[in-house]
Structure 1
Amino acid sequence: MLIYHPIHDVNHCVYRLLLILETTQHSTIDIDLYRIVDFYTIFPSLLKNIKPFPAELSAFKRVLKEIPDPYERLTNVKRTMHELEPIQTTAIQNLLAKNIIDLEAFRARKLERTDTKLPQEIAVGLRESVLVNEEWFRMLINEFPTISFTGRKGLKARTGLMEFRYDVEPV
């Protein structure tokens, strides 16, 4: 039996990356933060598992409760995150090759959209995506970048998706 899941689809990852870059309020996004945002774009119900949930985002707790639990169960989210990384890297490289992501920003471990125009069909598809109207998605792309990312109290530690023990603690 053949089962499809967007986590293994590079083209779907390119779509998610474009969706994030086109709809965020921020001009750049850190690559590691992008990886976490992309993970939660695929598995939004896991946002409920962020412990402790950032106090700055407490207004969104109501929204998270409304996200239905999925049919599938992830037994090891850290491993799933690790398996997603090469797909995300390929998606980033595809957009770099098309000059849709800025190379200099990428060298600084950031993702920044260039002025390159997207084909009309893709641009319309991104604007009309159901995710754009989801409050939890807007929280991911607009509020997550404002939260401390590194250290024991950062998003890496709170989500449990990335190693944080060797991070330099923010001052």
Structure 2
Amino acid sequence: MLMYHPAFDANHCLYRIVSILHATTGTQINWQLLRMLDFYYLFPSQLKNIKPWPREIGKLKIQVMKIPDQFEDLSNPARTFFELETFQKTAVLELIAKGVLSKSSFDKGIMALEPDTLPTAYKALLDGDDFLKSDAFEVITKALPSTKFNGSNGLKFRSGLMEYIYDL
């Protein structure tokens, strides 16, 4: 039986990354944070597993708890997160090659869309996407980037998806 999941669809990965970066314009997003935001885009119910929930976005925990559980069993989220990296790297490099992502920002470790590269029709597609209007997407693109990312109190530690012990 052939099973489809958007996690391992290269074109869906392109769409997710552009969606995230479009929604976070003006916020500095590094590679590791982009990977994490993409993971939560795919599996929004995994936001419930961020423990302890960051105080600086404490008021949004109620929204997160309302996110319905996913139908698939994600028994090892860290492994899934690791397996996504190949698709994410490929998507980012393709977006740079097409001139959608800024190469100069990328060289500095920041993921940023080139200004005015998205066609009007594509922006309209993003505006019509119901998930991009959801509470989950708001938490992913507005709240998570505003929290501490590194260290023992950072999002890397709280999510359980990345190694944090060697952070400075």
Confirm or deny a common fold (TM above 0.5): yes
Q: Map 1:33-112 onto structure 2 (within 5 A).
A: 33-112=33-112
Contact 1:151/1:167, CA 8 A, preserved across alignment: yes
Q: Which deviates the most, 120-129 or 84-93?
A: 120-129
Count of residues in correspondence between the two structures: 168
Which segments of 5 or more consecutive residues in structure 2 lack a partner in the other structure?
none
Aligned to 1:138: 138
Q: Which moved more, 1:26-35 or 1:43-52?
A: 26-35
1:27: how far off? 4.0
Q: Residues 8 and 84 of structure 1 are in contact (CA less than 8 Å); yes or no, is this contact kept in structure 2? A: yes
Q: Which amino acid counterpart does residue 84 of structure 1 have in structure 2? A: L
Separation in 1, partners of 2:65, 2:28: 29
CA contact (8 A) 1:60 1:136 kept: no
- Deviations along 1:5-61, whole A, 9 cap, x unmatched? 011001001000111111225343111001001000000001001010001111111
Moved more, 69-78 or 80-89: 69-78
> What is the RMSD computed on CA atoms of the aligned residues?
1.2
- Point out 4+ residue stretches in structure 1 off by more than 3 angstroms: none
Deviates more, 1:94-103 or 1:126-135: 126-135
Instruction: Give, in whole Å, the separation in 2 of the partners of 1:135 and 1:127.
Output: 15
Unaligned runs of 5+ in 1: none
Letter in 2 for 1:81: F
- The CA distance in 2 between the partners of 1:40 and 1:87, in whole Å, is 15
Partner of 2:147: 147
- How far apart, CA to CA, are the structure 2 residues paired with 1:24 and 1:145? 8
Shift in alpha-carbon separation, 1:29–1:60, aligned structure 2, 3 A: same
- Alignment match, 1:118: 118
Deviates more, 1:19-28 or 1:135-144: 19-28
Equivalent pairs: percent with the same residue?
40
List per-residue Cα deviations over 1:106-126 (Å, max 9, x = no partner).
111110111243234322111
Does the 8 Å CA contact 1:99/1:116 hold for their aligned counterparts?
no
Three-state SS of the structure 1 residue aligned to 2:105 is helix
Give the Å deviation of 1:143.
1.7
Indicate conservation of the 8 Å contact 1:156/1:164, yes or no. yes
The separation in 2 between residues aligned to 1:130 and 1:25, in whole angstroms, is 19
* Length-normalised TM-score, structure 2: 0.95
Partners of 2:25 and 2:9 in 1: CA distance: 26
Instruction: Name the residue aligned to 1:161.
Output: 161
